[in-house]
Amino acid sequence: MDYQQLIEEVYQEVKTKNPRGKVADYIPELANVDADRFGIALVDLEGKVYGVGDYDQPFSIQSISKVHTLTMVAHIFQRKLWSRVNVEPSGNPFNSIAQLEFEKGIPRNPFINAGALVITDALTTKFENPVEEVSRFIHEVSGKDCVTINQDVMNSELRHSERNTALAYFLKAYQNFDNPVEEVIKTYVAHCSMEMCCVDLARSFSFLANDGYSIYAKREIVTESEARRINALMLTCGFYDESGEFAFRVGLPGKSGVGGGVAAVMPHQFSIAVWSPELNEKGNSVKAIMALELLTDKLKFSLF
């Protein structure tokens, strides 16, 4: 398979069709990103990198970091963790307070904001310096020091963190939150403010395409069973309340972020990251979704 030719074809088709969306502005600093940026990087299981467009330009990964933090605590807390957060698609906005109250403080899944706050709370319980540990983990699974925290984005998110703070206090009211709310919010905002380029992001997801084994760390990051479960969560819950549509159109486990990035895996084949800042009404990158749909159409295979 000529992956370079494949992603170049996909890139040109998307550029020609040029679907438009709207750059995220509820975090004001994200609104300053050039809306026309667009890059794709694909990494196979031998570590070969194929890229096109702005694939080496760092961007704010936002909610994609939730896959990294989930991976870090899932095998540590195991059954206890899954009593604190569910594994069902939400069908509601990713920051819904009403859903959390309706379900009595147990978030639907670890990728909506309430669920990710529970994961970050568990991370804070486990590690004395959780932000440093997230960076260290990503560096290990991507095989290089590639993460920086954009302080301007972080400060912008902290200044507009009222809803996440409200979610955290709701969780605390239902005894599903162990650490000080402000401390966890700072950690949560920090890992969402991390910047990576498409190549490094794809590399950091490679172990999930390889049954949990990292070719960069040269060790098992999670078991094959745990990797399957993380992939299942990405497929069913990784795109907010557009997850069913993504599974229908693309058929790959993946995770999006409001910075315009999407990371996805084809198990036993490759990992891929696509970045384009303009989002649809569900908060997912319009060009990245189209690119991945074209990719699986051209490959003539997906999980299904």
Q: Does residue 188 carry a catalytic annotation?
A: yes
154-162 own/partner pairs: CB under 8 Å, 24+ apart: 154/189, 154/190, 154/193, 155/29, 156/27, 156/28, 156/29, 156/30, 157/27, 157/29, 157/189, 157/192, 157/193, 158/185, 158/186, 158/189, 160/26, 160/27, 160/28, 161/185, 161/189
Q: Does residue 118 carry a catalytic annotation?
A: no
Measured from the Cβ of residue 278, the count of other Cβ atoms closer than 10 Å reads 20
Question: Chain centroid to CA 166: how far?
Answer: 22
Query: Given this model, what pLDDT does residue 240 score?
Result: 86
Query: Given this model, what pLDDT does residue 78 score?
Result: 80
Query: Given this model, what pLDDT does residue 8 score?
Result: 98
Query: Given this model, what pLDDT does residue 27 score?
Result: 83
- pTM for this entry: 0.96
Which residues, given as ranges, of the chain have pLDDT below 50? none
Longest dimension (CA), the chain: 54
Look at residue 213 and give its three-state secondary structure.
strand
What is the enclosing helix (H) or strand (E) of 22? strand 22-23
Tell me how far apart the alpha carbons of residues 211 and 220 are, in angstroms, rounded to a whole number: 9
Query: Given this model, what pLDDT does residue 29 score?
Result: 87
| Rg for the chain, CA atoms, rounded | 18
Write the DSSP assignment of 245-285 as a string of letters. HHHHHT-S-EEE-TTSEEEEEETTTEEEEEE--EE-TTSSB
Query: Given this model, what pLDDT does residue 302 score?
Result: 66
Catalytic residue among 11, 66, 181, 271: 66
Cβ partners under 8 Å of residue 46, min gap 6: 215
Catalytic residue among 55, 213, 216, 240: 240
Query: Given this model, what pLDDT does residue 199 score?
Result: 98
Give me 91's structure tokens.
């069908």
Catalytic residue among 10, 11, 50, 63: 63
Residue ranges covered by each domain of the chain: 3-299
Catalytic residue among 14, 43, 73, 258: 258
The CATH H-level superfamily of 3-299 is DD-peptidase/beta-lactamase superfamily (3.40.710.10)
DSSP class of 128: S
Q: Does residue 63 carry a catalytic annotation?
A: yes
Query: Given this model, what pLDDT does residue 5 score?
Result: 97
